[in-house]
């Protein structure tokens, strides 16, 4: 005969197989849906983003008022599409000097700007006629620190395309006149001017070319959330080892937790600013910007610590991974690309702390350009203040659960002693039926109380892991 494997409680796997498969199927399905939903949300931010380039605005001011200035307009007419940024032409009276054009880009009203120099057409005509003259006709402006990888691939490349097509537009508009009048065959300098009639100079408000720039608005926004979650698990484990929630009241526990969280996020934000600076390469940023970045990240990290503290206090353990992962994904989705390129639904991400942190950092790194403090700081401090108002209730909930767990454990211990006393007082003449009856009445109650104690401990101290090499305060 084949023995049937069974648990110590007496149930065989065959008896529990159905429930096991149901539980496995539920977890299997929920986790698949969790990752599917989150990744669909993240991928949705990039869905057909190239068709929304027209939502990005670039400024054009024509200080020339002649053939070169008009060639830029003609070039944009040839390039204009949903996959090319919108070039908004404004009169020179609205932007009287090139400094005003740069200020418009610096302010963040436009992603880039192009302006035709005063007298550009006459200078080019002189260069074609004599071989001498300034052929720099255009200047373009952009901010390399604003979504650097995206700006490099979309804004900068679009401006380069505009400059190149402007040459073709100039030929179409003026080549016949030049060929008829310019001494191209006699003067090599004139020929060179004809072959390359439109030259442009660049003003990059903040050159950001280091390889690590692609991480600033992606991985760097997720790591602080994961870091706070891991530290929360460690802090809960230490609290469980030393039974802090039953030995200290909610107020003292709350103050202790607040001091620890401020210290941890203070050092964590210093480390984050430190590795950004350590790999900055030739990026021109100074110590003042380092400190401002450090303080901004500190606020962001502490917000996430408080959020994780609240979630781990009130969300049941089986649903906690869903909350933490989703929180991380929606935050990074709000920073991974400009909202202009995402479907309109994603603009609710303005309310998320990660997006506002990145806006603050861009302003710091751009020497004050891209001013979004009027919106970013109120949103971040609103998160911080709201979490500070809720976190005392989370601590009170933990302490109450810890006290209830301790009481349930005491009751279970008392019932176990009662069982032992009952067994000793039972006479040798008692029947087997009377012993089984006593055990069935007392043992299940003790087991229920032990299970309840364990459940309440998980509520109070979860999620957690024990600190390696540290022995707690043994009761």
Instruction: With a cut of 70, say whether residue 17 has pLDDT above it.
Output: yes
Q: Are residues 259 and 386 in the same domain?
A: yes
Q: Are residues 61 and 179 in the same domain?
A: yes
Mean pLDDT of 6-14: 61
- Distance between CA atoms of residues 404 and 412, nearest Å: 12
Mean pLDDT of 386-401: 93
Q: Are residues 231 and 340 in the same domain?
A: yes
Query: In the chain, pLDDT over 70 holds for what percent of residues?
Result: 83
Q: Are residues 274 and 384 in the same domain?
A: yes
Cβ neighbours around 197 below 10 Å, total:
22
Q: What is the CATH number of the domain that holds 92?
A: 3.40.1710.10
pLDDT band at 27 (very low <50, low <70, confident <90, very high): very high
46 or 12, greater pLDDT? 46
194 or 296, greater pLDDT? 296
Q: What is the pLDDT of residues 176-197, one digit of tens each?
A: 777 776 766 677 887 887 888 9
Instruction: With a cut of 90, say whether residue 87 has pLDDT above it.
Output: yes
Q: Residue 31 falls within a domain, yes or no?
A: no
pLDDT band at 430 (very low <50, low <70, confident <90, very high): very low
Sign of the torsion formed by the C-alpha atoms of 459, 460, 462 and 465: negative
Last residue of a domain, one of 205, 223, 245: 205
Instruction: With a cut of 70, say whether residue 8 has pLDDT above it.
Output: no
Mean pLDDT of 359-386: 96
Q: Which domain holds residue 331?
A: 212-475
Residue 366 exposed, middle or buried by CB count within 10 Å (0-12, 13-18, 19+): buried
Q: Residue 378 falls within a domain, yes or no?
A: yes
- Distance between CA atoms of residues 200 and 194, nearest Å: 15
Q: Residue 5 falls within a domain, yes or no?
A: no
202 or 406, greater pLDDT? 202
Tally of structural domains, the chain: 2
Last residue of a domain, one of 158, 177, 205: 205
Q: Are residues 382 and 397 in the same domain?
A: yes
Q: Are residues 309 and 218 in the same domain?
A: yes
179 or 320, greater pLDDT? 320
pLDDT band at 475 (very low <50, low <70, confident <90, very high): very low
């Amino acid at each position: 005969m084949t023995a049937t494997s069974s648990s110590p409680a007496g149930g065989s796997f065959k008896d529990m197989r159905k429930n096991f498969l149901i539980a496995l199927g539920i977890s299997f399905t929920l986790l698949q849906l969790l990752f599917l939903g989150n990744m669909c949300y993240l991928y949705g931010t990039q869905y057909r983003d190239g068709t929304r380039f027209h939502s990005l605005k670039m400024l054009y001011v024509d200080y020339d008022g002649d053939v070169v200035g008009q060639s830029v307009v003609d070039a944009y007419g040839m390039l204009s599409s949903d996959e090319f940024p919108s070039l908004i032409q404004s009169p020179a009276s609205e932007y009287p000097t090139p400094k005003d054009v740069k200020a418009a880009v610096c302010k963040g009203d436009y992603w880039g700007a192009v302006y035709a120099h005063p007298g550009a057409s006459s200078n080019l005509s002189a260069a074609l006629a004599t071989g001498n003259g300034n052929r720099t006709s255009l200047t373009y402006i952009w901010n390399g620190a604003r979504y650097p990888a995206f700006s490099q691939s979309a804004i900068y490349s679009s401006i380069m395309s505009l400059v190149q097509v402007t040459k073709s537009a100039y030929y179409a508009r003026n080549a016949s006149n030049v060929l008829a009048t310019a001494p191209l065959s006699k003067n090599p300098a004139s020929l060179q001017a004809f072959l390359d009639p439109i030259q442009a100079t660049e003003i990059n408000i903040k050159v950001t070319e280091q390889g690590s720039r692609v991480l600033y608005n992606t991985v760097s926004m997720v790591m602080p959330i994961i870091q706070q979650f891991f530290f929360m698990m460690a802090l809960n484990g230490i609290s469980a080892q030393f039974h802090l929630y039953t030995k200290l009241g909610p107020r003292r526990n709350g103050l202790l937790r607040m001091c620890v969280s401020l210290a941890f996020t203070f050092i964590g934000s210093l480390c984050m600013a430190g590795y950004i600076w350590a790999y900055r390469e030739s990026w021109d940023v100074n110590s003042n910007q380092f400190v401002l970045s450090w303080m901004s990240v500190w606020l962001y990290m502490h917000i996430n610590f408080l959020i994780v503290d609240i979630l781990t206090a009130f969300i049941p353990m089986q649903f906690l991974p869903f909350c933490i992962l989703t929180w991380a994904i929606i935050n990074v989705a709000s920073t991974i690309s400009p909202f202009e390129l995402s479907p309109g639904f994603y603009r609710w991400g303005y309310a998320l702390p990660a997006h506002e942190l990145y806006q603050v950092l861009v302003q710091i790194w751009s020497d004050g350009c891209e001013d979004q403090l009027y919106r970013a700081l109120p949103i971040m401090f609103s998160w911080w203040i709201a979490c500070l108002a809720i976190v005392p209730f989370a601590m009170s909930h933990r302490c109450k659960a810890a006290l209830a767990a301790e009481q349930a454990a005491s009751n279970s211990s008392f019932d176990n002693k009662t069982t032992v006393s009952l067994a000793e007082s039972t006479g040798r003449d008692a029947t087997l039926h009377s012993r089984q009856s006593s055990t069935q009445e007392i043992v299940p109650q003790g087991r229920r109380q032990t299970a309840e104690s364990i459940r309440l401990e998980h509520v109070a101290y979860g999620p957690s892991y024990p600190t390696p090499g540290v022995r707690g305060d043994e009761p």
